[in-house]
Chain A
C-alpha cells in the first residue's frame, strides 16, 4: 500500500467518510451496463442458486434453481440464464466500424491494405465483488465443453443448446477481467476501492454494503459504525437486514429460511411424482399447485435477499458516474472492444471452445499482455490524474516544479549542431534523481526526453538537458520548450510501454517446454475423468 493510500485511509478513519483516491474515473462505465448479482448454494463449489440481473435498476429479473443439487434443474437454470444474458452479449456484435490496417503478404512480403471490423461498443457486466467474477468463471468452465443435441454425439445428458455458448462467453469475459485496466467485467468493490479509501481493512471492503456505508453513513453515524451496522444488524428471526453481496449466502439464512423452503419444494415434487405414479389426477393437481407455491416462496425469499445488493451495485454506479472520465479511458475501452470483436469472430468462425488449460505459448502470451497492460495502466493513470501522479512523486519516481531558467546549449559533435538546452526547475519533491538519469516530460507538446545534469537538494533545484522533441532544426521549435514560470512535471519512468518480445507459434514450442502441444507425453495432469456429469 502506498504512502498516499495509507494517508487517505487514516483520513477516512478520522472523518468517518470515504476519502477520494482519484480525481477522475479510471474505468470505463457503459451507458447500459448489465448488473449481475449471483448466489451460490452451500456445500458444492460453484453450484448456482440464483441470480438477479438486468440493465434497468427498476426491473431486475430473477432466475433460480429450486433444488441446487439437481443437475437437470441446474441446466434448466443455465438455459434460462443463457436466454437472458446472450441477447445482451450478442447485441453489440451487430454495429461495427471498419478499421484500416495493412497486412504483409507472407509470400511476396508486400504490404496490402486491409479493413477489419471493430464493434462500435461492447457489453459490460458488473458484479458486486471479485468472488462474483470467480463464480462466473466457474460456470464458464463447467459449461463450455457440454454437448448438446446439436452435436454429433450428444451423450446421455445433452445440455440445453445455448448453454455451452454461454460458457464460452463467460470464460472470455472472466479471462479478459484478468487484464489490468479492462472493463468488460468489473466487480463493484474493486471499482470503488480504486477511487475511494475507507477506514476499514481491505478484507472488510469486500463487503459491498459495509463499503458503501462509508460513502452514505446515516445521519449522525461515522463510517465505521455504519459499516458495522450494515454487516451485522439482524431482525427478530435472526436474519441480516443487509445480506452479504454473495455469491455465498449467510448460513443463518440457509438454516432458517432457505433450507425449509427447499425442503417444502422437495416434498411437493415427491408428492407430485407419487400422485402421477398412482394416477391420482386430483392429487397431482394439488401437488402441482404445491410445487408452484413452493417455487413462488423460493422466489420471494431469494428476491428479498438479493435486492439490497442489487440496489447497492446501482448506488455504486451512481457514485462512479459523479467522477469525470479519465483521458485514456477511450483508448483502453477500444482494447476491450477489440477483445469483444475477436471473440465474436472466433464464435462466428466455428472455432472450438477455449481449451481447458492454456498451452505454453498461449500462457506466455497472456502473461506478456497482462504485464504490458499493467505498465500501460500505471502510466496512463498517472498522466490522467494528479493524485495518481502524486503517488509517483512521493515515491521519488517523478517531480513537478516551476521552471526558473532555460539556457540554450548545443551538441556540436555531429555534422550540424543540435539543440540541447538546459532547463532548471525549482521543486519541493525529492526524486531519486541520480546524475545522468533519464527523465520524461509529462503533457509536453510532444514526447520529450531529458537527462538530469545537476541536482541541488538544499536549493530544491534540478537541471535537465532536453534531448528530444524539439524538431530537426538548429533552434528548438517554438513552443517545444517550457518557459520560465511554467509548471512542468517530469517522470523518471518511461511514458510509453515497451513491446513484448516475439514468442514462437504453439506448433514451434521448443524442447524446453515439452515441444508442440499434444506432441510429447508431457507431465500435463489428466483431467478427462472429470468430464462427465451426473
Chain B
C-alpha cells in the first residue's frame, strides 16, 4: 500500500479484496477470512456490506457478536442500511432486545431459532449461539469483534457454519477468565485465548487482511494510537488536521477544567492532572473532576465540526471510560448529582462504562479516568495494553484524561513481571511501553488541577 494513495482509495481497495475473498472464495481457499481492523476503520460498515453481498449472492447467513449491546447496534445498522434484508434477532429468553431495534419493520425478534431460520440474516451473541441446535447449519457466518470472543466459545459455535468472516480489532482487550488456566498456556487451542488466535494457529494458510484507515480517530489521535498500540500494522487517519474542530459558545471561565477543555478542543488531547496521592479505587476527587468536566463540556455549548457537517455536542455524544465497574458507578452517581443525564432510557445521556463495555463504541468526546490514577501498584490488569487502547480510541474529536500525578514514576517502579510461558508468543506492544508512550504524549497537554 502506498502512502501517497488517498485514504479513501486505499480503504476501498482493502474492502474489495476482503469482499471478494468472502463472497466468491476461490476453490481450495481456506474456510476463514480474517480482517484486522484498528479503531474506527469501518469494521461495522464492512460487516453490513459483506452481509448484503452474501445475501445478494443467494446465501443465508448468521452473525455472531459478543455482547447484547453490540448485537443491537449491528441489527440497527443493518436494518437501516439494508432495508431489503429480513433480519432475525435471536435473543435469550430473559433478555429482550432494546426498543430501538424493534422499531425496524424488517427485524423479527425471537428466542427460538426455528422461528428465524428463513430470514436472510440471523444475529445473536456468541453466548446464545452456543446453545442453538440447528438442523441445517448456515453456510456462512460473520463473527464480529472476533478478538474478544474466547476460543472455547468458538469451539461450541463453529459447528453451525462452514465458512466464516472474522472481523475484529487485535489491539483491544483480550478475553479473560477468573480461574487459573496456566496448564493450557502455549497450547494452540488454549480455551481462554482469543478465538482468532486459535483459528489462525490451526489454519496457518490464512493471511489476515487489514483495514488501513481509521475514519473515527482524528488526525491528532491516529498517529499516537497507531505508534503506541499497532507498531507493526500502522494505520492512518481518514481525515486531515483541519477537518475536525470543536468550538465553544461559552467563553472559558479561567478554571482548570475550561483550560483542559480548550486544550482538548484545539489539540485533541488534554491531561487534567490532580496532585499525586494514593487513593481508593473510587478516588472521590478524581471522580468529582471527571463529573465536573463532563458538566462543563455540556454547559459550554460545544459544536463539533467535521467532514459530516456540524452538530452540537449533546450528552449522548460524550462517554466516560473507567477501568473498574465501581469507578463507573461512582462517576454515574456524581453526574446524577451534578444534574447530568446518565440514563439512556430517558433521553440523550452520557455513557459511563468500563473499557470492556466501551469496546466498539464511538463518541465525539471522551473523558477517561486513567487506569493507573492514584494506585500504589501497577498490576497486569491495569497495564493491559488493550484497556488503555480502548479508552484512548473511542473519540472522533477529543479525549480528556483525568489522572493523579506520578503515573510515570509508578510505571518505572513496576516493570511487567508476568511469567513467560513456553509456546505463547510475546504480545507486542508491551502494556508498560504503550502506557509510557501515551503518557509522554499527554504530558504535552497537561493542565494541573489544584
Contact residues of A with B, CB < 8 Å?
3, 178, 180, 357-361, 363-364, 366-368, 370-371, 374, 395-396, 432, 435, 501-504, 508-515, 520, 522-525
Contacts and interface: CB of A to CB of B under 8 A. Distances in A.
A501 B157 CA distance: 10
Interface string B429-441: 0000000000000
B189 A514 contact: yes
A366 B184 CA distance: 11
Given A513-B202, A514-B202, A370 B179 contact: yes
Interface in B17-63: 31-32
A502 B192 contact: no
A363 B177 contact: no
B189 A363 contact: yes
Contacts of B202: 511-515, 520, 522-523
A180 B152 CA distance: 19
A215 B147 CA distance: 48
Contacts of A511: 31, 158, 202-203
Contacts of B329: 396, 432
B310 to A, nearest CB: 34
Contacts of A368: 152
Interface in B367-401: none
B131 interface: yes
**Interface hub of B32, B153, B179, B199 (most chain A Cβ within 10 A):** B179
B152 A367 contact: yes
Contacts of A363: 152, 184, 187, 189-191
**Interface hub of A359, A508, A511, A515 (most chain B Cβ within 10 A):** A511
B179 A513 contact: no
A522 B130 contact: no
B158 A513 contact: yes
A508 B159 contact: yes
B85 to A, nearest CB: 26
Given A513-B155, A525-B423, A367 B130 contact: no
B191 A180 contact: no
A89 B127 CA distance: 40
B151 A513 contact: yes
Contacts of B423: 525
A361 B191 CA distance: 9
A435 B201 CA distance: 45
A65 B187 CA distance: 34
Contacts of B191: 360, 363-364, 366-367
A364 B189 CA distance: 9
A504 B187 contact: no
B210 to A, nearest CB: 21
13 contacts: A358-B187, A359-B189, A363-B184, A364-B191, A371-B177, A374-B178, A432-B329, A501-B156, A502-B130, A504-B155, A511-B31, A512-B154, A512-B158
B32 A502 contact: no
B112 to A, nearest CB: 16
B201 to A, nearest CB: 6
**Interface hub of A180, A364, A371 (most chain B Cβ within 10 A):** A364
A364 B158 contact: no
Given A435-B343, A504-B155, A514-B202, 20 more contacts: A178-B183, A364-B152, A364-B156, A366-B191, A367-B179, A367-B184, A368-B152, A370-B179, A371-B177, A371-B178, A374-B178, A374-B179, A432-B326, A502-B131, A510-B158, A510-B159, A513-B198, A514-B189, A520-B202, A525-B186
**Interface hub of A435, A502, A523 (most chain B Cβ within 10 A):** A523
B180 interface: yes
A395 B324 CA distance: 12
Contact of B156 (A371, A503, A520, A523): A503
B187 A357 contact: yes
A523 B201 CA distance: 7
A367 B158 contact: no
B31 A358 contact: no
Nearest to A436: B345
Given A180-B179, A502-B130, A512 B155 contact: yes
B379 to A, nearest CB: 11
Contacts of B130: 501-502
B130 to A, nearest CB: 3
B156 A396 contact: no
A512 B32 contact: yes
Contacts, number: 104
Contacts of B199: 512-513
B313 interface: no
Contacts of A513: 151, 154-155, 158, 189, 198-199, 202
Interface string B164-182: 1000000000000111110
Contacts of B264: none
A374 B178 CA distance: 8
B291 interface: no
B155 A360 contact: yes
B189 A367 contact: no
Contacts of A395: 326
Interface string B318-354: 0000000110010000000000000100000000000
A512 B195 contact: yes
Contacts of A514: 188-189, 202
A45 B249 CA distance: 70
A507 to B, nearest CB: 12
Nearest to B132: A501
The 7 closest A-B pairs by CB, nearest first: A501-B130, A510-B158, A364-B152, A360-B189, A370-B179, A364-B191, A514-B202
A494 to B, nearest CB: 10
B241 interface: no
B177 A501 contact: no
Nearest to B166: A512
A258 to B, nearest CB: 29
B204 interface: yes
A176 to B, nearest CB: 13
Contacts of A357: 187
A284 to B, nearest CB: 48
A501 B203 contact: no
Interface string B136-170: 00000000000000011111101100001000000
Contacts of B156: 364, 501-504
A475 B130 CA distance: 39
A318 to B, nearest CB: 29
Contacts of B31: 511
A512 B194 CA distance: 12
Contacts of B158: 510-513
B156 to A, nearest CB: 5
A513 B157 CA distance: 11
A501 B154 CA distance: 11
A511 B31 CA distance: 9
B398 to A, nearest CB: 28
**Interface hub of A370, A374, A395, A501 (most chain B Cβ within 10 A):** A501
A396 B325 CA distance: 10
Given A360-B155, A509-B155, A512-B199, A501 B184 contact: no
A501 B156 CA distance: 7
Contacts of B155: 360-361, 364, 503-504, 509-510, 512-513
A363 B188 CA distance: 11
Nearest to A430: B333
Nearest to A514: B202
Contacts of B190: 363
B37 to A, nearest CB: 20
A221 to B, nearest CB: 29
Contacts of B204: 523
A503 B152 contact: yes
Given A364-B152, A512-B154, A501 B189 contact: no
Given A367-B191, A503-B152, A523-B188, A512 B198 contact: yes
B274 to A, nearest CB: 22
A432 B184 CA distance: 36
A511 B158 CA distance: 8
A3 B326 CA distance: 12
Nearest to A6: B280
